[in-house]
Every structure is written in structure tokens, then in C-alpha cells.
């Protein structure tokens, strides 16, 4: 029943923010560490190059208190690899005590060792980039076996989860592979697409034709009734993007005849990196002039997001969240179905 209350609180806060036209960080992505035990080919994190950045436990606890006071109802714990923190269970307990929804994203290497910790989250995302060959090309040799071992453990413990798959040149067949695994393990599949402009090595990124083909392929599976994370609205917006896919966002007005929704993400969500910088979203990491909450306090760093001039993007996860914040029926219905699936054991 507590899960139901958390989801209701989240929905209520979204409505309040919209009706009162207030900027409230309802959803916060909190990167608790840059440390990671994998070296994914496409990752923008620099932990494997010698940087080891993370918050202290006291910093996280103080931040959670402040976020709760400001109206946050959903904290998504990211990394690096969050399960590498010795205090990660304490962090999750702290969020739960505040009666906030807590999601954790993991690369799957430590699931069996941390299974009791994972029983405490409301939502779990496991990174998986396809079958063995596809996954290991992106995420490193031997990572697939660990992930599958983890999925078996989650299934045995009746822990619901979804996966996130990054599509690169290494795993162009991953959509078919992931949907086959989704049938076996019963998870909802989420996809991210690595474009050439974001790839650390350009040959890893997809060109415009490849990106469009992948989006159409994912949408085809959704139309067949497969468990695909986002709504039709978000995929269709991506398909109708009027610019090159190498241009993820625009600060300009859309071309005549192209409708777009206002960006609510910068008014109702943010991403806090492990170094303390506060961004509107992951797409704008290292592209927006962020402030560090360790230096100026979270409130000022949050208020700085009003300087973001992004008007629209085609990033599917952002369009989904924006649709939810914008009270779009398709996005709300999709979120409702996912919430019910998580609540019912």
C-alpha cells in the first residue's frame, strides 16, 4: 500500500506544480558516484580514467532532506555504478523514510550480491545491450553472463525490473535480441540511441537513417503488443523530428506546421552529477552552464535552470517525461500501466 501512496503523491505534486505554475523538482536523477566496474564503449563518465568522484553519506542525506522539503517525490539513483557504494542501502532507506519513490539503475554486475538492497527500491533498471556478443562489445567481455545471472536472481525473488539498452553500431540487432529476452524474463524494454555526435568514437554512433530505422523497429514491436517502455506519443515525436538526428535539441522555434510541447523538464526535474553540478537533463550534461550545489546550495543551482533555452528535443525518454508533466493522456496512461505492473507482485 505504501507504494500506491508514493505514486499518488508523485501525481499530486505534478498536478500542483502545473496548476500553480511553480517550478518544483518533482523528479531528480541523483548520480551518487562516478565509480564503475565496467568500461562501456559509449559512456560519458570518466571514472575509469582515474577520476573517483562521489558524495559523502552526509552530503546525500542533507540533499535528500532539502529535496523533500522542496517537493521532490521521485529520486532516481544513478552512477557510475550506484551499487558500488558501501552505504547504498542507507541511502535507499533514507529516501524511503521520506516516503519518496526510489528508482535505481545498475549495470547488473552486483545484483546477486546486493539482492536484499534491491528489494527496497520501487523501480529497478538494469542495463543490457542485447545477447552475449552484442552486449559484450558495448559493455565489456563477461558482463553478459553476470547480467543474466542477476536477472535470474531478480526473477527468483519476484523483483520487477525494466532494462535499458543503448543501441550503437556494435549492437544494431539488439532490438530483436532484447525483445526475445523480454519474453523470457517478463521485463519492459527501454531503449536509448547513440548518435554520432555523442559517441566518444564517431564510428560507434548511428547516422540519421540508422536512427530512424531503429525507432521504427521499436515502434513496430510496441504495435505488436510487446512490453516497450515509452508511449506512442514519444516515438512519433521522434519520428517527426524536423532536423537531423545529430541535432538532439533546438533552442529555436520549430518550423511552420511543426507542433511542439513546452519543455516542462527544466521546470519539474533535474540531474545532479556526482561532482555536484545540477543540469536540466542528462542530454545537457557538459552543454549547459550548470551551477554546483556544493558551492551555491541546491536552491540556487535549481533556480539557475531557468536559464536553459532548450525549446524541444527528440530524445524519447525526455519526450515521455515531458508528456507526463504536460498531462498528455498517452503518457499518463502509459505511466499508470507501468506503475500498476510494479505494484502488483
Each residue's pLDDT tens digit, 55-114: 999 999 999 999 999 999 999 999 999 999 999 999 999 999 999 999 999 999 999 999
- Count the neighbouring beta carbons within 10 Å of the beta carbon of residue 208: 15
At 159-196, the pLDDT tens digits run: 999 999 999 999 999 999 999 999 999 999 999 999 98
Which of 295, 41, 331, 312 is closest to 167 using CA atoms? 41
At residue 193, the pLDDT reads: 94
Q: Identify the burial level of 260 via C-beta atoms within 10 angstroms of its C-beta, where 0-12 means exposed, 13-18 middle and 19 or more buried.
A: middle
Decide: helix, strand or coil at residue 290.
coil
What domains lie within the chain, and their CATH numbers? 2-343 (3.20.20.70)
In the chain, the N- to C-terminal Cα span, in Å, equals 12
Q: Taking the model in full, what pTM does it have?
A: 0.94
Amino acid at each position: 500500500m505504501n507504494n500506491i501512496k508514493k505514486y499518488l503523491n508523485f501525481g499530486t505534486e505534478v498536478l500542483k506544480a502545473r496548476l500553480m505554475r511553480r517550478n518544483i523538482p518533482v523528479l531528480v536523477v541523483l548520480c551518487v558516484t562516478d565509480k564503475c566496474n565496467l568500461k562501456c564503449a559509449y559512456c560519458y563518465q570518466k571514472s575509469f580514467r582515474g577520476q573517483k568522484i562521489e558524495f559523502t553519506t552526509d552530503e546525500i542525506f542533507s540533499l535528500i532532506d532539502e529535496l523533500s522539503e522542496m517537493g521532490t517525490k521521485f529520486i532516481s539513483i544513478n552512477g557510475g555504478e550506484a551499487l558500488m557504494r558501501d552505504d547504498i542501502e542507507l541511502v535507499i532507506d533514507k529516501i524511503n523514510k521520506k516516503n519518496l519513490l526510489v528508482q535505481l539503475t545498475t549495470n547488473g554486475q552486483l545484483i546477486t550480491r546486493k539482492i536484499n538492497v534491491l528489494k527496497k527500491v520501487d523501480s529497478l533498471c538494469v542495463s543490457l545491450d542485447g545477447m552475449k556478443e552484442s552486449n559484450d562489445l558495448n559493455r565489456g567481455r563477461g558482463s553478459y553472463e553476470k547480467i543474466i545471472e542477476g536477472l535470474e536472481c531478480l526473477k527468483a525473488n519476484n523483483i520487477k525490473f525494466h532494462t535499458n539498452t543503448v543501441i550503437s553500431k556494435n549492437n544494431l540487432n539488439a532490438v530483436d535480441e532484447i525483445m526475445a529476452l523480454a519474453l523470457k524474463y517478463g521485463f519492459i524494454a527501454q531503449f536509448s540511441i547513440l548518435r554520432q555526435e555523442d559517441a566518444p568514437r564517431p564510428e560507434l554512433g548511428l547516422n540519421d537513417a540508422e536512427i530512424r530505422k531503429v525507432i521504427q523497429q521499436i515502434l513496430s514491436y510496441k504495435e505488436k503488443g510487446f512490453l516497450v517502455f515509452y508511449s506512442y506519443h514519444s516515438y512519433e515525436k521522434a519520428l517527426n523530428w524536423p532536423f537531423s538526428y545529430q541535432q538532439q535539441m533546438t533552442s529555436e522555434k520549430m518550423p511552420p506546421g511543426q507542433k511542439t510541447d513546452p519543455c516542462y523538464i527544466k521546470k519539474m526535474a533535474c540531474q545532479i552529477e556526482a561532482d555536484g553540478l545540477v543540469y536540466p537533463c542528462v542530454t545537457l550534461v557538459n552543454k549547459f552552464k550548470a551551477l554546483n550545489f556544493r558551492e551555491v546550495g541546491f536552491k540556487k543551482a535549481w533556480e539557475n535552470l531557468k536559464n536553459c533555452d532548450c525549446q524541444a528535443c527528440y530524445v524519447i525518454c525526455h519526450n515521455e517525461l515531458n508528456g507526463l508533466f504536460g498531462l498528455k493522456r498517452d503518457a499518463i496512461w502509459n505511466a499508470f500501466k507501468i506503475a500498476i505492473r510494479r505494484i502488483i507482485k
